[in-house]
Amino acid sequence: MQAEAIDVQAFKVGMGAPDDVSAAARLLDEGALRAQDVVAILGKTEGNGGVNDFTRALATLSFQLLIGRHSGQSVEQIARRVPIIWSGGTEGLMSPHATIFVRSAADPTLPDPGEKRLTVGTAYTRDLLPEEFGRLEHVRVAAEGVRRAIADAGIDDPADIHFVQIKTGALTTERVRDAASRGQTAVTADTYKSMGYARAVAALGIGLATGEIAEDRVSDAAIAQDLGLYSDVASTSSGVELMNCEIIVLGNSRRSRSAYRIAHAVMRDAIDAAAVREALRRAGLRVDCELDPAELPRLVNVFAKCEPDGEGHTRGRRHVMFDDSDINYTRHIRGVVNAVIASVTGDTMCYVSAGAEHQGPPGGGVVAAVVRA
């Protein structure tokens, strides 16, 4: 028996502040989308992206209240149904925004597009304990969740997975103490550093679920260390506001009659503009050195992960990010990759998240494009 055909849409809305949901509200008011069909939101907020970045919590609450007003659901119900994931930090020219993913049963009158089209699947995992956090159990919990999200998306071929986002938690001083009070140790007492462990275990979980990483190579010792292990489609982030994993899988599926398509490439380093062009072309856009301006309306968004080269050099030239005690390296590198992408697309409103441990080759990361087909 054939699984039901679905329709998927993606809307990018700018935000004037973390609690500015006015652009999304207009779409709901105009009937461009229905609140009950929203299945995931992925965006960038203008915080520091660090431990004390509360712009994410504010944006989440603001969107939950908006969806609640339009759907009649409570904030608690929405929190269990719709992953709303923010990467904090809009350095350089990066423009704060959200991409809203909508999914519904396909209107029977929609023609079969004759090719795989955009799909989205989601999942939630259980909360991790502080002592499990950033360790092998965290990898396993993440992997199991990703498998559920892939199934939810209706994807059966791993080659059709183009971007997997996990938001997971971070340790705080309180959580480290909580573990200690029960005779347990946390993987680190450095709260900023715990965000790196969080991203690492989530990425390894993605790699296990997509088959990119072999189960027997993943161990506690490998986490955040053996960077030869990675997933090319992983994008993970960390924030104190949760302790579980919230998962969004994006890909193409035969079941989807969406008007959208997704593709990806892998940046080998932070200035790899060629990979940006490649991702856009794979998604079906015309690109010379830059995206043909006539094609810009077809581009919904670009999603990228990035990190500085770990050796302190990029193409042989020293960078100072790791020695900067004023600005964390994640803040530096996000502005760089946003600039490289925008110099190709002409649009600074794209999603760039930093901290790419096990997400693409060291110093590089995924770049995916969602476009109107």
| Residue 70 touches its own copies, criterion: CB under 8 A | no
> Which residues inside 232-251 make contact with its own copies, applying CB under 8 A?
240
Cα separation of 304 and 334, whole Å?
9
Which of 12, 44, 116, 167 does the annotation list as catalytic? 167
CA dist., res. 262 & res. 301, Å (int): 10
| Alpha-helical runs (H) found in 170-269 | 173-181, 191-210
Count Cβ atoms below 10 Å from residue 321 Cβ, excluding itself.
18
Rounded Cα–Cα distance for residues 226 and 369 (Å): 28
Q: Please give the helix or strand (H or E) that residue 120 lies within, else none.
A: strand 117-124
List binders of its own copies among 321-360 (CB under 8 A). 321-328, 331-333, 335-340, 342-344, 346-349
CB-wise, 152 or 290, nearer to its own copies?
290
Of 37, 144, 178, 190, the one binding its own copies by CB under 8 A:
190
Residue closer to its own copies by CB (options 215, 311) is 311
Q: Comparing C-alpha atoms, which of 143, 92, 88 is closest to residue 353? A: 88
Q: Which two tokens stand for residue 218?
A: 């993943």
Which residues inside 125-164 make contact with its own copies, applying CB under 8 A? Answer: none
Stretch that binds its own copies, among 30-38, 88-96, 161-169, 213-221 (CB under 8 A): 88-96
The CA-based angle 159-161-164, given to 5 degrees, is 145
* Contact range with its own copies by CB under 8 A, out of 28-36, 45-53, 150-158, 208-216: 45-53
In the set 43, 50, 134, 362, which binds its own copies (CB under 8 A)? 50
Binds its own copies by CB under 8 A, chosen from 270, 283, 285, 367: 270
Sign of CA dihedral 100, 105, 107, 113: positive
Catalytic residue among 237, 238, 256, 353: 237
CB of 263 to its own copies, least distance (A): 19
Active centre residues (catalytic): 167, 237
